[in-house]
Amino acid sequence: MSMAGERYVDHDVLKTFALNKVNVPQEEAKERRRQVNHLRERLEGYIKDHPDFDLVKLRASGSTAKHTAIRRRKSEGSDADVAAYLRTSSTDIDVSTMLNWLRERCIEVYGKTKVAEDFKLSDHAVGITMRGSGLKIDVVPVLYTGEPDDKGYLVTSGGRQVLTSVTQHLQFMKKRKDAAGDGYRELIRLLKAWIRESKAADPDLRCKSFLIELVVAHLWDNGWNGEKLQVNDYPQAIEQVLAYITRTGLKTPIVFTDYYNADAVAPSWHPIQVWDPVNPENNVAATYNDIHRQRLVSHAKNTLDILTEAAYASSNGAALDCWRELFGPAFPGV
């Protein structure tokens, strides 16, 4: 029987799996950058010709910019996010029209090379699907008001304005990565791969990528059960994250004080409270109800039980079978 600490599936096995099956390959990352740069260059020209809104700047954002994106599967598109900072001097323009206005500009960029179905509106972005590569670019309109650090107001389809800052989000990630090392972001990518596999098995499971990032950040800042987050021991770190979710039931608010004081957080009665590091009024889990919380906590507990079984497995094959329940049949991907 294997003893915990002498595991068949150790840090090196998970690191190899991340390299071969989870991390974005160099060529795919290059293609993402090429497509995003093409859009940025063309969009600048088209917006200049339509003065309802002035384009102040475009910023790469989201998982690709933070280097926490995971490689796409053949059956799914991958995402790259671009924040389009727009400004208007007119008091007559309703900013709730910004999303549809931006969709029209994106359609003009690509002209007849794409069909209308390739441009999908979500609550806060224009999603553009590239049929050749499968890449999906989300262009997010941000109302720019002249504040520093790329602060602006993300505008939803209903006209709601949510304070955000691409620069501060990137700095938030970089500060922790610089202190923890490269394992910090790769741990996040492994956890995203686990959630993706979990959602494939249970479509009702909810856990957005940003939520995972913030739970990891909280554990890096505060540790768990008297220990630091073990970013250089992936099996141990994954167990720590799962144990945190299981034991707290995600009922403990998570607040960061990089850019505001803890007492600035707005009162909330949502079942899960994980606060945006740059906006004390934005609970990133505000749309999760208590059933969502219970489902995620239960899934984390079941996964933790599987990893406990893997830690004491009697053979390499038995340990691998356990880990395949997390990451699918491609594990270990050697």
- With a pLDDT cut of 70, the percent of the chain lying above it is 94
**Quick one: pLDDT at residue 237?**
98
24-166 belongs to CATH 1.10.10.350: no
pLDDT band at 2 (very low <50, low <70, confident <90, very high): very low
- Contact present, 62 and 78 (Cβ < 8 Å): no
| CATH classification code of 11-21+170-327 | 1.10.1410.10
Residue for token pair 């441009």? 119
- In angstroms, how far apart are the furthest CA atoms of the chain? 73
The answer, yes or no, to whether residue 3 has pLDDT greater than 60, is no
The answer, yes or no, to whether residue 167 has pLDDT greater than 70, is yes
Q: What is the mean pLDDT of residues 116-139?
A: 84
**Quick one: pLDDT at residue 74?**
58
The answer, yes or no, to whether residue 228 has pLDDT greater than 80, is yes
**Quick one: pLDDT at residue 112?**
73
Q: What is the mean pLDDT of residues 2-20?
A: 81
CB atoms within 10 A of CB 164: 21
Can you give the residue ranges of every domain in the chain? Answer: 11-21+170-327, 24-166
**Strand ranges (DSSP E) for the chain?**
54-61, 78-87, 119-121, 126-129, 135-143, 151-155, 161-165
**154 - beta bridge partners?**
142, 162
